[in-house]
Amino acid sequence: MKISLRFLLMIAPALMVAAMLAPNAAAQDGSWMVVRAEYGFRAQHTDVSGIVKDLVSRGGMNGLIAVNNKMMGGDPAPGADKTLKIFARNGHGQEQEFDYREGALVQTNMFFAARGDRDDHADRDDHHDDGDHFAVGRDHDDFNRVNIEQAFWGAQGRMVPVTDVLQHMVRNGALTVVANNASMGVDPAPGAGKILIVMYSVHGKEQAAAASEGHMLTLP
């Protein structure tokens, strides 16, 4: 049976966003380099450094990262109020921990990721339209087609970026893919049930979708 699970990342109005942006540290001048990140509750947490660094390097969605199970690649502590902890360092070598409760929004302009931490495919500009493939990253002005912004494949604590893989699967402005190791080209969590998380835009709206391993995802 084919299953397509969709969900929308709801961005609150400006006043609500301001109230939700609540790290445990006072606002600082300048940027902080993300060293590592954890998501969970007390001892039940997973390393989400790769996900957070990739999202920060891409500017999140409208400059924000939603702190929730879908965005962080899973739920390490079902039923508990979880926290995203970002451990960062500034240009003076000072280290600081920024805590964001589940449901909050992270302002990406507070942080940056070292170039080596970014998804290498993010900086490529050699994607050409050959009639079948689309340079999605450069075609954000194409209002009616699916633009893959970010995509991750794996299990809790073992997610890998597959943005470039999905970008090359877009055909005629749409994406249809079976979420499995073969289509993603990698198995980041052997033996574990995996999930495909995709953040995309279409018709000028940013959205998100997910598909469990073995299920088909169709966008839009």
Note the pLDDT tens digit of each residue in 94-119: 899 999 999 888 888 899 988 655 54
More reliable by pLDDT, 189 or 63: 189
More reliable by pLDDT, 159 or 67: 67
Structure tokens that stand for 215 in this block: 């299920």
CA of residue 41 relative to chain centroid, distance = 20
Burial class (CB in 10 A: 0-12, 13-18, 19+), 50: buried
44-47 and 32-41 beta bridge pairing? antiparallel
95-101 and 83-89 beta bridge pairing? antiparallel
Question: What are the residues facing 18 on neighbouring strands?
Answer: none
Give the pLDDT confidence of 130-146 residue by residue, as tens digits. Answer: 434 433 344 444 667 89
Residue of 150, 151, 58, 41 lying closest to 106 (CA atoms): 58
Question: What are the residues facing 197 on neighbouring strands?
Answer: 152, 210
42 three-state secondary structure: coil
27 three-state secondary structure: coil
Q: What is the pLDDT of residue 5?
A: 37
Q: Residue 214: is its pLDDT beyond 60?
A: yes
Judge if the upstream peptide bond of residue 13 is cis by omega within 30 degrees of 0.
Answer: no
Q: What is the reported pTM?
A: 0.52
CA distance 70 to 208: 9
**Mean pLDDT on 51-66:** 85
**Mean pLDDT on 66-88:** 91
**Mean pLDDT on 159-178:** 90
> How distant, in Å, are the alpha carbons of 33, 90, 120 from that of 74?
24, 29, 24
Q: Residue 11: is its pLDDT beyond 60?
A: no
* CB distance 194 to 172 below 8 Å: no
Domain extents for the chain?
12-117, 120-219
